[in-house]
Amino acid sequence: MKPKRLFLAAALAAAWLVGASGATAQTGASIVTPATAATPRFDAPSDIARGRSIFIGTCGAYCHRINAANGDAPNLFDCDWLHGESDDEVFHTITHGVSGTRMVAFGGALPDEDIRRIVAYLKSASQCKK
């Protein structure tokens, strides 16, 4: 486990142990945690620009698309999050993948910071009407 991920895991565990409101242990494919205080958002303009470039270079093409009218991978800009919409949930989905689909686990392949930057880009580019 990389140091950053170890840190994140420790932070999550600590939040759970001290009974932070709403925190739960990880179950199955989803995680619900408000431990955002321990997880920087990486949402400065330079982070979002890097997140966009990684999204284009790594997540796009035959899988996700910016214009998702034609594709089978989920549209990531329509606010319809299949595996949880919080930043941590989206981070978790990217990190661990989705079993039984083409969505492989990027954890360990991409640095956690870059996965956070992808999340920040996705949220910044969302076309959600909410």
Partner 1 sequence: MIGSRFARASTAVLALVALVATAGLAQAADPPAAGTNSAEIPLPPPPTAWYANPPVGASAGPVTQDLLAKSPADPSQWLLYGGGYRNFRNSPVKSLNAATVKSLHVAWAAPTGTTGQFEASPVVYGGVMYITTSYNRLMALDAKTGAFLWRYDVKLPDDLRLCCGPANRGVAIGGDLVFMATLDAHLIAFDRMTGKVAWNVVLADYKDGYSATSAPLIIGNLVYTGIAGGEFGAGGFLDAYDLKTGKQVWRVHTVPGQDAAVLKSWAGDSWKSGGAPAWTTGAYDAETDTLFWTVGNPSPDWNGDTRAGDNLYSDSVLALDPKTGKMKWYFQFTPHDVWDFDGNTQLFLIDTEFGGKPVKAIAQPNRNGYFYLLDRVTGKFLRASQYVEQLNWAKGVDDKGRPMVDPDALPQDSATKRVCPSNLGGMNGSWSGAYDPVTGLVYAPSIEACQTYQKGIVTYVKGIPFMGGMPDTTDANKNKSYGLLSAIDVKTGKVKWRYRDAKPMMSGVVTTAGGVLFTANMRGEALAFDQATGDKLWSFRMGGAARGQPIVYEIDGKPYVAIPSGGWASIDGFAGAGSILPEGGQIFVFSLDK
C-alpha distances in angstroms, 105 versus 16, 26, 129?
24, 17, 29
Least distance (Å) between residue 83 CB and partner 1? 16
Structure tokens at 32: 């619900």
* Candidate ranges 12-20, 29-37, 48-56, 83-91; the one touching partner 1 (CB under 8 A): 48-56
Query: For partner 1, which residue of 42, 55, 96, 120 counts as binding (CB under 8 A)?
Result: 55
d(CA 9, CA 68): 33
Complex with partner 1: residue 9 or 109, whichever CB lies closer = 109
Number of residues that bind partner 1 (CB under 8 A): 30
End-to-end CA distance of the chain: 37
Structure tokens at 38: 């321990």
Least distance (Å) between residue 34 CB and partner 1? 30
Least distance (Å) between residue 108 CB and partner 1? 8
Nearest to 95 by CA among 17, 39, 23, 18: 39
Does 76 bind partner 1 (CB under 8 A)? Our answer is no
Complex with partner 1: residue 38 or 110, whichever CB lies closer = 110
